[in-house]
């Protein structure tokens, strides 16, 4: 079983390119954002808690996200692996993912990092909020907080995965969606 992590700042294009990767390599795309939005839409206790945290630009507690990921690994069959989008976001989550994959006699196959500058993050998230009507992306203050959170809590994973020999970076800007997708697919072929 392969376990790939799609990595990069908010708005880098992880979700945009995940479908092509999942289809080409028979992977199940697991977006923690989509899993959480489904819980929010269902109005579950987890969804209500997550809604309030996300609206403030904060992260959902690790144990909740880890439980959703483990449940997906255990229940989804007929795939050659998983493509994680939005997890791990912190060093403790990366360590938890290592434990989760080790319990399945495996490990993270590779981390595909799509990098864009902060100014482009602002532009893309604001545009996405307009197009998709996503309230969690609507305010400039929330976007700024998400970028700060990314730099403080998620960027340290670059060194973590680089030290493990699993980090592979792709330039996500400039370029068209097709150009960046080709860079991503080429990178995965090299892993």
124 assigned to active site: no
Choice among 14, 166, 181, 183 that is catalytic: 14
Among residues 51, 89, 166, 181, which one is catalytic? 89
Q: Which of 124, 146, 181, 183 is catalytic?
A: 146
Given 2, 123, 134, 162, which residue is catalytic?
Answer: 134
Round to whole Å and give the CA distance between 2 and 63. 22
Burial of 188 (0-12, 13-18, 19+ CB in 10 A): buried
Whether 14 is catalytic: yes
Q: Do 171 and 9 contact (CB within 8 A), yes or no?
A: no
d(CA 123, CA 131): 12
Give the CA-trace dihedral at 29, 33, 35, 41, to 10 degrees: -140
Is position 99 annotated as part of the catalytic site?
A: no
Is 134 one of the catalytic residues? Answer: yes
Is 128 considered catalytic here? Answer: yes
Write down the catalytic residue from 28, 37, 123, 128: 128
Both tokens of residue 12? 């880098």
Catalytic center residues:
14, 89, 128, 134, 146
């Amino acid at each position: 079983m392969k376990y790939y992590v799609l990595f990069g700042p908010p708005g880098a294009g992880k979700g945009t390119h995940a479908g092509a990767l999942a289809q080409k390599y028979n992977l199940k795309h697991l977006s923690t954002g989509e899993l959480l939005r489904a819980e929010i839409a269902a109005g579950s206790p987890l969804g209500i808690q997550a809604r309030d945290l996300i609206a403030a630009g904060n992260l959902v507690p690790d144990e909740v996200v880890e439980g959703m990921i483990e449940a997906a690994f255990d229940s989804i069959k007929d795939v050659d692996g998983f493509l994680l989008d939005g997890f791990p976001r912190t060093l403790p989550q990366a360590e938890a993912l290592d434990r989760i994959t080790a319990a399945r006699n495996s490990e993270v196959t590779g981390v595909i990092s799509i990098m864009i500058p902060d100014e482009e993050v602002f532009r893309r998230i604001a545009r996405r909020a307009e197009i998709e009507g996503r309230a969690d992306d609507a305010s400039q203050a929330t976007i700024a907080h998400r970028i700060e959170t990314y730099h403080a809590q998620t960027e340290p994973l670059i060194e973590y995965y680089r030290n493990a020999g699993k980090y592979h970076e792709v330039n996500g800007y400039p370029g068209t969606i097709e150009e960046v997708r080709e860079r991503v697919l080429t990178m995965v072929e090299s892993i």
